[in-house]
Structure 1
């Protein structure tokens, strides 16, 4: 299944780590005391059955939710309580499960705006077309990297679903993140787009760390150096995919889930 299994990177100096992370919703603990170490340069998958707490954990790591308790650190920076845009500037960028693009803008315009948003220009892009023009070279490079070079000037609303997800990835890469978080990167894709997306993630992981939430276990087996399995908001088991896939606790957690058979 997928590529030959790689040895997980040594976790002596995790680039991203969580300690005692808790998130309560009206007394219900969606995330319940999670400790997590993400090795620099690794691809780390968060998996688990529906309701396991994956998305809530993802939101805590990226600042879209504030933890009830616990700590999230990116290098020397404490992230808990910071706004998502501040976290992004520190080097952690997120690609969303639900794509939100401006239908009338082209991929080139999207990426130029994202690049401008990193600078002092901010979103004052309407003041000068020349101001955006300074980013055209880097925008073209990013679009080529995600396979959208030939679609740079097509309105985003006219792009096929898989290409919209590729554009979303280019927007995250425009932030030049140390850590790239991907939320269900292959959700809703056909087999051909899934294969293309897996190849794309393998390409863009060079020089950065990737954390992904993913239901497709074939994708996980192809990409992940290390896998954390969540259940009821807690870490059930963690390790290389080849180990966790046979763990009786994981098999039990996935009973009745169609992905358990992969």
Structure 2
């Protein structure tokens, strides 16, 4: 059976995300240089590299927070080069970095309800009728269950441990119903137990969506990534499966070093 065309103009075998010759200069310094990236649908694609490799700049380009100096970005076959963040979000893209800081006094359920209201275009209303609350109750419960916070819906966000706050932020991103989810350092600052829980969480939420993540913890990359792109000095140094990249001599020298020794 041949791949079917979608309303977006792409097929189910086309890359969800593609960049061609993507570059970004700051006062003559090239933070990202001629990056060609192709992210297959339904995969977890990791971006790794040493500090200063250009990972965050690349994320900012992909989500519209920066405009490229040259090159193109397409999402599901649509050229989104130079679009604003909210326009790219409307293409079904959510990024963990974009989620607003949590309101310490609001409950977990209230946070998710606000995100759902924003998705539906009804605005962010702190004063809502009981009818409006009931409208979002089922989906709010489902999202909190999905990220392992189902039993805490009435708790204030300020009472959460660090790993739980990151889980809530992920629930807020999922409330936008993204087809493409970009996660910037999802396990940064976490202890071993929280890292393990976050890995399992990402495995659960990857169904029916594509994930691009920046991650320094190579065990997380090994557990999650279908494909890995290694950046160095803003350029693609290597790309492939985790094991292939792990054994690449250039990658070992440039980045992994003792991590694979």
What TM-score does the superposition give when structure 2 sets the normalisation length? Answer: 0.91
Extract structure 1 runs of 4+ deviating beyond 4 A. Answer: none
Name the CA distance, whole Å, in 2 between partners of 1:193 and 1:83. 33
1:132 Cα deviation (Å)?
Answer: 3.9
The answer on whether the counterparts of 2:94 and 2:176 sit within 8 Å (CA) in structure 1 is yes
The answer on whether the counterparts of 1:97 and 1:187 sit within 8 Å (CA) in structure 2 is no
The residue aligned with 1:186 is 187
Q: Using a 3 Å threshold, how does the CA distance of structure 1 residues 47 and 155 change in structure 2: closer, same or farther?
A: same
The residue aligned with 2:62 is 61
The answer to whether residue 246 in structure 2 is matched with residue 242 in structure 1 is: no
Report the secondary structure of 1:96's partner residue.
helix
Report the secondary structure of 1:235's partner residue.
strand
The answer on whether the counterparts of 1:89 and 1:175 sit within 8 Å (CA) in structure 2 is no
The residue aligned with 2:210 is 209
Q: Cα RMSD (Å) of the superposition?
A: 1.8
Name the CA distance, whole Å, in 2 between partners of 1:135 and 1:98. 19
Report the secondary structure of 1:207's partner residue.
coil
Name the CA distance, whole Å, in 2 between partners of 1:71 and 1:132. 42
The answer to whether residue 111 in structure 2 is matched with residue 110 in structure 1 is: yes
Name the CA distance, whole Å, in 1 between partners of 2:98 and 2:219. 18
How many residue pairs align between the two structures?
Answer: 250
| Structure 1 segment 51-90 matched on structure 2, within 5 A | 51-90=52-91
Q: Deviations over 1:133-180 (max 9, x none)?
A: 311110110000000011111111110000000000001100111111
| Structure 1 segment 159-198 matched on structure 2, within 5 A | 159-198=160-199
Name the CA distance, whole Å, in 2 between partners of 1:124 and 1:69. 40
1:31 Cα deviation (Å)?
Answer: 0.4
Name the CA distance, whole Å, in 1 between partners of 2:85 and 2:67. 10
What TM-score does the superposition give when structure 1 sets the normalisation length? Answer: 0.91
Q: Unpaired segments of 5 or more residues in structure 2?
A: 1-11
The answer on whether the counterparts of 2:99 and 2:173 sit within 8 Å (CA) in structure 1 is no
Q: Using a 3 Å threshold, how does the CA distance of structure 1 residues 91 and 223 change in structure 2: closer, same or farther?
A: same
Which moved further from structure 2: 82-91 or 152-161?
A: 82-91
Q: Using a 3 Å threshold, how does the CA distance of structure 1 residues 255 and 172 change in structure 2: closer, same or farther?
A: closer
| Structure 1 segment 1-262 matched on structure 2, within 5 A | 13-96=14-97, 100-126=101-127, 128=129, 130-254=131-255, 260-261=259-260
1:86 Cα deviation (Å)?
Answer: 1.8
Q: Unpaired segments of 5 or more residues in structure 1?
A: 1-10
The answer on whether the counterparts of 1:91 and 1:176 sit within 8 Å (CA) in structure 2 is yes
Q: Using a 3 Å threshold, how does the CA distance of structure 1 residues 141 and 84 change in structure 2: closer, same or farther?
A: same
